[in-house]
Amino acid sequence: QVQLTSMYGRYTEELGAYAKEEAARLREAGVRRHSVTKRARSLELLENDKGRCAKCRICTVRCQKFLISCVGEDWIFLILLGLSMALLSWLVDIGIGICLQSQKWMYVKLESNVFLQYLAWVTYPVVLITFSAGFTQILSPQAIGSGIPEIKTILRGVVLKEYLTFKTFVAKVIGLTCALGSGMPLGKESPFVHIAGLGAALLCKFMSLFGGIYERSCLPYEGHANESRNIELLSVACAVGVSCVFAAPIGGLLFSIEAMSTFFTVRNYWRGFFAATVTAFMYRILAVWNRDEVTITALMPTNFRQDFPFDLQELPAFAVLGIASGLGGALFVCLNRQIVQLIRNQKTIKKFLMKKRLLYPALVTLLVSTLTFPPGFGQFMAAKLTQMESLETLLDNETWSKQGIPEEFDNNSLSQAWKHPQVNVFVTLTLFVVMKFWMSALAMTMPVPCGAFMPVFVIGAAFGRLVGEGMAACFPDGVHSDGTIYPIEPGVYAAVGAAALSGAVTHTVSTAVVVFELTGQISHILPVMIAVILANAVAQSLQPSLYDSLIMIKKLPYLPELGWGHHEKYNICVEDIMIRDVMYITLNCCYRDLHDVLLAGHLKTLSMILLGSIERVQLQALLSLQLGRSRRLKYLRDRATAEKSVVSHPSSKDGSTMGNQEVHFQVNKVKIAEWEENQLDEQVNFDNCMIDPAPIQLVERTSLHKTHTIFSLLGLDHAYVTSIGRLIGVVSLKELQKAIEGSVAVKGVNVRPPLASFRDSGASGTIMNNENKARDLHKLWNLLSSCCSSNLPLHPSLLYPSSQLAFGPYTYSALMEEGWTHPALSPTRTEEIWVLGRGEEGWVKVPLLNKGGQNKMYRICMV
């Protein structure tokens, strides 16, 4: 038990004994709750024993329990998640294929009239994109975009409303199908990560109907007790989302770990592998069942040379390809962000697009479709091919031309689209890379469900193919080794370029594994890994990843990474960035205090000294219960019972009596207001509230580096700062984000000086660096410890005072309430009492009590 005092509070019994008693009480409550649950289940069986189908119902219940006890709920959940997402991905592919084939069918049927061909080629994608944007905007705007930035934010424990609902699921699936069916350079992988997360959340909600471990868990943002488990299942869903697009279970899991999680729970590893494997297996089984494939194979099988995959002379070319891909990835992220900022900064354009939301995607689609019209400019960039067809041709291991002239193309193959009678292969590949590069960055800004991984993957493959064709032109006879000629395979360079550029854009290395599983060959593991690592090194030093860039653009509450080689993060402490004005309530407060605190700020949680924290929603529920309709009706009924009186009239002359008559009353606004005031003055009962008895606490000298690690590891939104058990402040994700952006280089760009927004220059206008401030604080502490009288206790605010101080008058009573309880503070004492303060000539004595007994004292306050 805790006995509250004026400031600190103290325990009236030892913590060990109290913990044992509390554990025994909770154990007894758990046994009692288990018996009640067991009795309820037995009653449920008795109810099922009635009716015509009683035996069937009882058998179903027993089979369900047996299946759950033998197989386990985790396995069932993961199998259902994998099967459902694979089926959904296959259906989406069918829908996309139908839309793309319809466009090609109209284009071929109208080949006699070029103008009608152009109208069909342009109008069809404009209609699909406009429908996708409008449908998504009406049903659920949260479905717009890739969804990975939002999932990444949710995995950190941040609450994002309406991002994991059924409406968002429907809008995402239908909008994505229409957007990709339009033929625009958009991707499927990132949106399907969001769809898999939606599927996991909805499936978790469905399984909660059957009880078990999912009974109280549903969605991470609903505040249930099993929130950490839902976060783990959501991370599994991310692996499933990648696996059902590329049929790559290993690469999907590794990509989800790299792109989504700062710290990954090892016990969640097998769940991700199992679910991703089930998804990939089911996805390929459906292709075989639909007769798209003869057997289960890789999605893009290749026939690269196995006996001599590459020569050492080619390694520099692979390294240059990786470095160039890193530069290209950073440029892609920067270009996408600049386009968004350009539209946002132009107020006229922004207002116009806010009114005409469907005009922007229609104009972008019209521009891209016009430039890719096959009889027009599209003939120079293989515009007839879809993204999957382009990737299939780029991974071809046959050299298209040794001298740049495509003479060896098979007329029946898809590679014929890269042939042009007037220009060579190098021109078509260069135009394809350049045009698709800015088109993809522009198309990503449309308000439709879309991703960027697949377009970037194809662009990287085209760039690698360009380098490979160049190597084949430089070495037309191939590489000689031991008297054997090994020709250059441009398809290998295409695979390396695809992995390198996509890895540079997403800041992941797992794209190499995705390429291995996508092609079904691992013989070129060394060139792929070298290129991917170099691309990541270059891209990470220049720009954030695409997902982090989208988080910054959308201003989502996400914690940025600490850069390398910055020592400032070790010199900055949490006390430098925390908020000192903390809203708090006490255990013996009244409802009026709750009302005032709730009106004062918009904090999610309110801190309580030594006791813990309580949700703002629960305080609002307490107030609603105290002043709600049920309470008012109860008061009226009590008043009616108390004031009901029977007026007895005197007997009449004939001896009869008058009948009883009820007296009615009315409650006016004044009485209602008076009743509300009385209710607010009552003491709050916290017995039925969920109080967190152990909120995360940091001491004031915790470094910024350690604070960042704790926030990232635990997924915290805020933490309380204490000094010797006393609450002195609170630090949230917002303050930590500002501190990191101000103290370290964010992706190679120094935003502002360290802690510039937290430190004030003071009256003299001088600014001290962190080391000088820390040194002065320690000097102040040493002077206070050596100079102050041992009979005079230090005020808690003097333990670690700031280097900039202000002074204000305080009465004796105010100081007594704040903890100055020493007899030296008696008004009858006249000797001088002082502390150290900051003056023009350094640290000087500041009198707290003047000789003469004036009823005023001074204390040190933070500026």
Of 177, 186, 175, which Cα lies nearest the Cα of 97? 177
Q: Give CATH superfamily name and number for 72-289.
A: Clc chloride channel (1.10.3080.10)
| Burial state string for 509-528 with b = 16 or more CB within 10 A and e = fewer than 16 | bbbbbbbbbbbebebbeebb
Residues 6+ away with beta carbon under 8 Å from 589: 683, 684
Interhelix angle 114-139/73-109, nearest 10 degrees: 150
Measured in degrees and rounded to the nearest 5, phi and psi for residue 364 equal: -65, -45
Of 250, 260, 278, 93, which Cα lies nearest the Cα of 181? 93
Strand order in the sheet with 697-699: 697-699, 718-723, 726-732
Say if CB 309 and CB 463 are below 8 A apart. no
Measured in degrees and rounded to the nearest 5, phi and psi for residue 799 equal: -65, -50
| Burial state string for 558-587 with b = 16 or more CB within 10 A and e = fewer than 16 | bbbbbbeeeebbebbbbbbbbeeebbebee
Say if CB 401 and CB 424 are below 8 A apart. yes
Say if CB 723 and CB 699 are below 8 A apart. yes
Scanning 576-686, the segments in alpha helix (DSSP H) are 591-600, 616-627, 629-643, 669-680
Tell me what pLDDT residue 268 has: 80
Measured in degrees and rounded to the nearest 5, phi and psi for residue 422 equal: -100, -25
Please give the Cα distance from 594 to 680 (Å, whole number).
9
Measured in degrees and rounded to the nearest 5, phi and psi for residue 636 equal: -65, -40
Measured in degrees and rounded to the nearest 5, phi and psi for residue 243 equal: -65, -35
DSSP code at position 480: E
Does residue 729 sit in helix, strand or coil?
strand
Please give the Cα distance from 470 to 455 (Å, whole number).
23
The class of domain 574-640+667-743 in CATH terms is alpha beta
Tell me what pLDDT residue 820 has: 47
DSSP 746-793: BTTB--SSTTTTT----SS-----HHHHHHHHHHHHHHHHHHS-TTSP
What's the chain's length in residues?
863
Please give the Cα distance from 477 to 486 (Å, whole number).
8
Tell me what pLDDT residue 768 has: 40
Tell me what pLDDT residue 111 has: 84
Below-70 pLDDT ranges, the chain:
1-20, 22-23, 26-55, 57, 61-62, 64-73, 208-228, 262, 402-413, 480-483, 562-571, 575, 577, 579-640, 642-694, 724-725, 741-863
User: Mind listing the pLDDT tens digit for each residue in 760-780?
Assistant: 333 333 334 444 444 444 444
Of 147, 181, 244, which Cα lies nearest the Cα of 546? 147
Please give the Cα distance from 296 to 111 (Å, whole number).
38
Of 153, 147, 228, which Cα lies nearest the Cα of 737? 153
Domain over 313-405+413-553 is classified CATH 1.10.3080.10: yes
- Residue 735 CA to its chain's centroid (Å): 17
Please report which helix (H) or strand (E) contains residue 730, including its range. Answer: strand 726-732
Q: Is the dihedral of CA 745, 750, 752, 754 positive or negative?
A: positive
Bridge-based pairing of strands 805-810 and 10-11 is: unpaired
